[in-house]
Chain A
Amino acid sequence: MNKESGDDMAKKSYIEEVDRGVYDIINREDHKYKAAKGLTEEIIREISREKDEPAWMLDYRLKSLEIFNAKPMPTWGADLSELDMDNIVHYVRPNTGMSTSWDDVPDDIKQTFDRLGIPEAERKSLAGVGAQYDSEVVYHSMRDDLKAKGVVYTDMDSAVKSYEGIVRKYFMTMITNRDHKFSALHGAVWSGGSFVYVPEGIEVDFPLQSYFRLNAKGAGQFEHTLIVVEKNASLHFIEGCSAPKYSVQNLHAGAVELFVKEGAKLRYSTIENWSRNMYNLNTKRCMVEKNGKIEWVSGSFGSKVSMLYPMSILKGEGASSEFTGITFAAKGQYLDTGTKVVHAAPNTTSIVNSKSISKDGGHAFYRGLLRVTPNAINVKSTVNCESLMLDNQSKSDTLPIIEIGNAKVDIGHEAKIGRISDDTIFYLMSRGISEAEAKAMIVRGFVEPITKELPLEYAVELNNLINLELEGTIG
């Protein structure tokens, strides 16, 4: 074999572990408090004591623990038999308090967020930033003019004390501890997360961003995000998540509760890039009132197992929702994602646009629900899912469930599964483009409707992730 063909072979060989660059850099664990592995009543009491919480929150945690212990592990969807809850550390407090200046954040943690581009993004294009490291938020800040207008953006632990009235009114009312096993777990051990309150009529012109980083080995992250956008207000909230890879399991069971009031608008963007040892069992729900609008933009790339179905409940007349999602499943990943939309009022509309790519034995599963209640007349909805398979070791499934409860509806649904057509590659190659670049171009074109919905820096990150993911397959 000559050298040239040897190089070709090398390019074509499969790269099992792609270098995820900044995402995989591990910091030395330096924590102030780390709970013991597993989940007991004593651990819950310790977490609550550490946080100096009001009594009602401790009661809620203990009740949730009871429900968690009583509920069986879900058997549908992903295989969770390897998830050993007794080996998960449910609470890790980093060795720092919450700061409002990056200068006060310890160097190693600051470097992590520096590498992820968070402080730079704050300077350039964001109205506020929150950063969570393991179980606690280490940084939170927001532009002063928004503070003056009454916008609140802080960590959930502070909100429980400073805005107790609002928190008690909304906290875990939409996602309750009785919904499923992992919402009960969340109710028991939740820690960190962001609280945003946008008063009536205020339009937050730049996005707010919270970034969640899990550094501790074998730990869980259970942040709670609560956003209330009052009447005729608007907000764009961005959430980013990542963790370095370990050989043991990590667990993410966060909860996101969004309340969009009459005439308000909320865009919630997520780029999730957890490491391949992560079980991402997150729950997200949004309640939309009259003429309100929720827009979900969701990118799922990381984790070993994901079960994530952001839900929009269109409660008020004329409410609308839009879901744009991309899932990229590579070797060893089972990404079970989708969305749920409940049309519970007349004249509500929804659009679902989901794309998935699977490669190297990855399994992408789109699971969706569209429900129209009997009173919700004149509903319009379109659901579109497309899946691209890059090889025949991978799997791709779609299961969109449509439940219609009255006759005055207009519902359309389309789904497609396939691979990159040889003809298209041949055409591009006949124009002088290499096979690898042709495939990458087609994949980028496939996800383009999603990337154009993202803020610029996230679109760049998504393209980089796609290049990173395709590195092993193309050629």
Chain B
Amino acid sequence: MNFRQHHQDAFNKMETPVWNRVSLPNELFPKPNYKVEASITSDSDYVNVTAFCDAIDSDDSIAQLEFTAKKQLGPVFKHYINGYANAGYVVKSTSKAFKPPVVDIHYVLGGETHTLIDNHVIIAEAGAKLDVIIDYHVEKSDYNKSENTLEQTAHYGMTHIFAKRGSRVRVFKLQRLNKSAYHFDQVFASVEESAVVDVFDVQVGSQFKAISHEFDLKGRHSEGHIKSIYFGDQDSKLDLSFTMNHRGKKSNSSILSKGALDSNALKVFRGNLFFETGASQSVGKEEEFVMLLGDNIKSDSIPALMCAEDDVIGAHAASVGQVDLNKLFYLMSRGFSEIEAKKLVIKASFEEILSDVPYEAFRVTVAHEVDRRVC
């Protein structure tokens, strides 16, 4: 039985899960009969890009790349995405150049394509470097249309990252779908000895977004970093889960999340640091900062530290509070309106993470999206 059929059968035997903290929307898991083409560019000959659907049929090794996750959106999502993917790429890098090669992938939803199910596999061979930018958005012409006139857009995605010995992978994800969209995304990263994986995750669109990123730091000196920015629109729901499994000695991880929530937004943040026996001299830290902008907000934080090894340093910190009124007052006394002042404060808060993004177009897009959405 082929890969897709196996997962379709498994999916069809399952029931839609029930989530406790953030209830799932109705009418999930459509089965689109079309493929979604992305606009994709690559600036290096040492990077090989193949469509996932082609790669899975021609390369058995891709199908066998399994990842045992402690936390994930759930097996239903895994089987659905594997079984019904209509987009995605396998990106392999052997480039050892000083400047990492860049693969830039844009998915545009709208028109006839309103369901995107993408499956990405990112492989950096030993010592290689690779930057991948994945941007999810709708047609510009849909920006000002009423949500009621748009079809329900939805994205279901899964990205596997395999960072081999001494490699360095950076993935920049930007989700700026329309207000009523659903967005489900999970990243699994397997990090070998001395390899480093960074994931920048920016969530500014969608009414419902559920994110689950998990790193397996299995090699000595392996490193994993997640930097997350989110903006919770009015009435939006966010479920964020970031997990670091420290298995290798002297492994290093960080999770930094900065968010802003507007009126009636609901957010759940789960940060998990696991230190397994043998991961001695490892260091892991997680930090969450939430800025509350409106009324009727619900913000849950569940930072967990699970430690089976004594020779480690694990730390987490969280800070949740209203936007600083003194800052707003100062800016307004300098002639900014309240909304402009709020936008400035939010962008300044996000800047700590965005300043580490080396791609100006990415940073500018995020700033524009904040300007467009904060009101």
Contact = CB atoms under 8 A, between A and B. Distances in A.
Given A391-B310, A417-B305, A409 B322 contact: yes
Nearest to A401: B302
**Mostly helix, strand, loop or mixed at chain B's interface?**
strand
Interface string B296-309: 11111111111111
A172 interface: no
A283 interface: no
**Mostly helix, strand, loop or mixed at chain A's interface?**
strand
Given A392-B309, A399-B304, A415-B305, A409 B292 contact: yes
A405 interface: yes
A419 B310 contact: yes
Nearest to A370: B301
Contacts of A64: none
B312 interface: yes
A455 interface: no
Contacts of A401: 300-302
Given A392-B311, A394-B310, A413-B318, A407 B301 contact: no
A403 B295 CA distance: 15
B320 A408 contact: no
Contact of B280 (A390, A392, A394, A395): A392
Interface in B311-360: 311-322
Q: How large is the interface on A (under 10, 10 to 19, 20 to 34, 35 or more residues)?
A: 20 to 34
Contact of B315 (A405, A406, A411, A414): A414
A409 B322 CA distance: 7
Given A418-B314, A419-B310, A407 B303 contact: no
A400 B302 CA distance: 6
Contacts of B300: 401-404
Contacts of A413: 301, 303, 316-319
A404 B295 CA distance: 12
A410 interface: yes
Contacts of B292: 404, 407-409
A389 B303 contact: no
A462 to B, nearest CB: 23
Given A404-B300, A413-B317, A397 B305 contact: yes
A405 B261 CA distance: 12
Contacts of B299: 402-404
A395 B307 contact: yes
A111 B299 CA distance: 54
Nearest to B319: A412
Contacts of B303: 400, 413, 415
Contact of B302 (A374, A402, A404, A417): A402
A389 B306 CA distance: 12
B308 A395 contact: yes
B306 A404 contact: no
Given A374-B296, A404-B297, A406-B295, A397 B307 contact: yes
Interface in A349-374: 374
B277 interface: yes
Contacts of A412: 317-319
B30 to A, nearest CB: 33
A194 interface: no
A320 interface: no
Given A403-B300, A406-B297, A409-B292, A417 B318 contact: no
B293 interface: yes
Nearest to B279: A392
A412 B301 CA distance: 11
A417 B279 CA distance: 14
A404 B280 contact: no
A396 interface: yes
B294 interface: yes
A392 B277 contact: yes
Nearest to A390: B310
Contacts of A392: 277, 280, 308-311
B315 A417 contact: yes
A277 B318 CA distance: 37
Contacts of A291: none
Given A410-B321, A415-B316, A396 B297 contact: no
A416 interface: yes
Contacts of A414: 315-318
Contacts of A141: none
B190 to A, nearest CB: 24
B59 to A, nearest CB: 40
Nearest to B294: A407
Given A392-B280, A409-B321, A415 B315 contact: yes
Contacts of B294: 407
Contacts of B280: 392
A399 B315 contact: no
B303 to A, nearest CB: 7
Contact of B306 (A390, A397, A407): A397
Contacts of B295: 406-407
A249 interface: no
B92 to A, nearest CB: 38
Contact of B305 (A374, A398, A408): A398
A247 B304 CA distance: 35
Given A391-B310, A397-B305, A402-B300, A409 B320 contact: yes
B320 A411 contact: yes
Given A389-B310, A392-B311, A419-B310, A402 B304 contact: no
Interface-centre pick from B280, B296, B302, B314 (highest chain A CB count, 10 A)? B314
Interface of A: 374, 387, 389-392, 394-419
12 contacts: A387-B307, A390-B310, A392-B308, A402-B302, A404-B292, A404-B299, A407-B261, A407-B322, A409-B292, A410-B321, A413-B303, A417-B312
Given A409-B322, A414-B315, A415-B317, 14 more contacts: A392-B309, A392-B311, A396-B305, A397-B304, A401-B300, A404-B298, A404-B299, A407-B293, A407-B322, A411-B321, A412-B319, A417-B307, A419-B311, A419-B312
Which 8 pairs, one residue from A and one from B, show the smallest C-beta to C-beta distance?
A: A407-B292, A389-B310, A417-B314, A413-B318, A419-B310, A402-B301, A411-B320, A404-B299
